Amino acid sequence: MPARDHFHSLMQIGPVQIGTHRDRHGQTEHAAVCTADRCGWSSDFTSQTAAQLAARTHRCKIR
Question: Cβ atoms within 10 A of the Cβ of 38, count?
Answer: 8
Nearer to Zn ion, 6 or 63 (CB): 63
13 binds Zn ion (CB under 5 A): no
d(CA 16, CA 62): 12
34 binds Zn ion (CB under 5 A): yes
Which stretch, 6-14, 19-27, 43-51, 52-60, contacts Zn ion (CB under 5 A)? 52-60
45 binds Zn ion (CB under 5 A): no
Determine whether 42 is exposed, middle or buried from the number of CB atoms within 10 Å of its CB (0-12, 13-18, 19+): middle
Nearer to Zn ion, 50 or 60 (CB): 60
